Amino acid sequence: MSVMSRQKQNAEKLAFVGMDKAQRERLSALKPLIEKSVGPALDRFYTQAKSNPETARHFRDASHIDHAKQKQVVHWGMIATGKFDDDYIEGVTRIGKVHAKLGLEPKWYIGGYSLILEELITHIIATEIKGFGAGKKADKAGKDVAAVVKAALIDMDYAISVYLDELSEERAKSENERARLKAEQDAALAALDRALTTLATGDLRSAITENLCADFDGLKSKFNTAVSKLNEAFLDISSSITQSASDTRELSGATDDMARRTEQQAAALEETAAAIEQISTISKQSAERTKEARELVSQTSDQAAQSGQTVSQAIAAMGKIEESSKKITQIITVIDEISFQTNLLALNAGVEAARAGEAGRGFAVVAQEVRELAQRSASAAREIKELIEASFRDVLTGVELVNKTGEALGSIGSQVQTISEHFVTISQAAQEQTTGISEINSSVNAMDQITQQNAAMVEQTNAATQNLLGINQTLAELASRFTVSTSTTQPLVQSRLAKVA
């Protein structure tokens, strides 16, 4: 109880009995008389206490009684002040606790107060009433008041005793009820302790099967329901762990396969990139060679055109030779006719010289010589004519061959032009192919980088999968510590993991 509560309760008590300020002042004025009278009153009380076995057992010896008497003197001195303050409340509380520890019943406590009050009242009245003949009246008044006070205290003792007896009976009933409840509670706690002990070992088949009182039916039902739900949850957890472990192993295998394939793909891409790089180099070289060949074809086309012009000039020259041969043939024909006429004239001159005889002999010799020259000229003219005719035939053959050569050169020029156009197209295609190969090479390089990144990601995924597999194994080991309600006595997760493994 707090200090404020005690002070409030004390004020309510004082107000209820009418212990107002005036009465507290009267009490304070009687302090010397009370202090003088309390000693004999306490002597009478402790004499009675020593004579009664029930109260005498609370005191060890005379010194113990003297110590208690002194405490009572001090306490009555505090009462006589009429203050009833915190010091008084603490003193009363302390004395009450001591009496409670001693086991001093209220009847002896009240009886002691009746003896003390008798002495105090008698002494106060005898002191206050003095004079002639007052002694007997004071003695009678003191005894009358003491009898009334004792009667009131005895009645209070009986009332309090009945109250305390009732409280004792109620306390006994309460104790019996408490004992019954404690027994029921102990039974419930024992059942709960057994179930919890079983549950602490990881056996989720634990349940409260004992018959408990109605007050613990709710606890029993809730505990069994909770354990059942926990059992179902662990069944689901163990199933999920098993499935997760299986899926993780499959994922791990797939990740390993993917890692190997990714590595192979990366290696293939590197080789492809290298091959494309070589093809790109070759394509560039081919484009350069095609360009050079196109230039050579262009030069050849120009030279073929020039050769065609030369052939045309040769044909023209052959034509001139043919015309010259014709003219030479005509000249030789004239020479041949001249030789024939000269021979004829020489023959006539020889005939005439023969006719002249000796006079014409010299002329006949000249005529003979002229005829021989004419014959030789005719022979030479025939040979020249034959040579010119042969040369003419050769010139015609040459002209025909030159014409055919011109036609061939013309055809070659057209073909070279076509080849040149093809080489232009091939060069453009080679250039485009080089550009395309370069783009392909860039794409392959990008794919190679992506594949390398994918390989790194696959390695990370593989590591994460291994970690997840370890976590699943840890969860499985943790879950295997619990035994769930299944048809087998072995933990469910261990059996399922054995199947997965």
3-state secondary structure 58-95: CCCCHHHHHHHHHHHHHHHHHHHCCCCCHHHHHHHHHH
Residue 265 class from Cβ within 10 Å (0-12 exposed, 13-18 middle, 19+ buried)? middle
Taking the C-alpha atoms of residue 228 and residue 56, their distance in angstroms, rounded to an integer, is 65
Mean per-residue pLDDT of the chain: 76
* Between 197 and 335, residue with greater pLDDT: 197
Residue 243: predicted pLDDT? 78
- By the 8 A CB rule, do 186 and 213 touch? no
Q: Helices marked H in 103-133 — which ranges?
A: 106-128
Statement: residue 493 has pLDDT above 60 = no
Q: Around Cβ 300, how many Cβ atoms within 10 Å? A: 17
DSSP code string of 298-319: HHHHHHHHHHHHHHHHHHHHHH
Q: Using the predicted structure, report yes or no on whether residue 186 has a pLDDT greater than 60.
A: yes
Q: 378 is written with which tokens?
A: 């005719």
Query: H-helix or E-strand containing 206?
Result: none
Measure Cα distances from 60 to 57, 65, 103, 478 in Å: 7, 8, 15, 67
- Which tens digits make up the pLDDT trace of 294-311? 777 777 777 767 776 776
Handedness of CA 334, 340, 344, 346 (dihedral sign): positive
Cα–Cα distance list, 165 to 100, 157, 170, 172, 176 (Å): 16, 12, 8, 10, 16
Residue of higher predicted confidence among 42 and 103: 42
pLDDT score for 125 = 79
d(C-alpha 146, C-alpha 144), whole Å: 5
Residues 330 and 319: their CA atoms lie apart, in Å, by 17
Q: Count of CB atoms within 10 A of residue 148's CB? A: 11
CA separation for the pair 328, 391 (Å, rounded): 11
3-state secondary structure of 489: coil
Q: Report how far apart, in Å, the C-alpha atoms of 256 and of each of 63, 263, 264 are.
A: 97, 11, 12
pLDDT > 60? residue 488: no
pLDDT band, very low/low/confident/very high, at 499 (cuts 50, 70, 90): very low
Instruction: Indicate the pLDDT class of residue 469, thresholds 50, 70 and 90.
Output: confident
- Is a pLDDT exceeding 80 seen at residue 245? no
Which residue reads 């106060």 in tokens? 124
Considering only the C-alpha atoms of the chain, give the largest distance between any 2 of them, rounded to a whole number of Å. 263
Alpha-carbon distance of 68 to 52, in angstroms, equals 17
**Type and span of the H or E element at 158:** helix 134-200
Mean pLDDT in residue range 265-279: 76
pLDDT digits (tens, 9 = 90+) for 27-65: 888 888 888 888 888 888 888 888 888 778 877 888 888
Residue corresponding to tokens 């395309």 = 436
Counting beta carbons within 10 angstroms of the beta carbon of residue 462, is it exposed (0 to 12), middle (13 to 18) or buried (19 or more)?
A: middle
Task: Please count the other Cβ atoms lying within 10 Å of the Cβ belonging to residue 267.
Answer: 12
Rounded to the nearest 10 degrees, the angle between the axes of helix 134-200 and helix 217-356 is 30
Cα distances from 463 to residues 105, 245, 255, 266, in angstroms, run 82, 15, 10, 20
pLDDT in tens, 433-449: 777 777 777 777 777 78
Q: Which residue has the higher pLDDT, 493 or 333?
A: 333
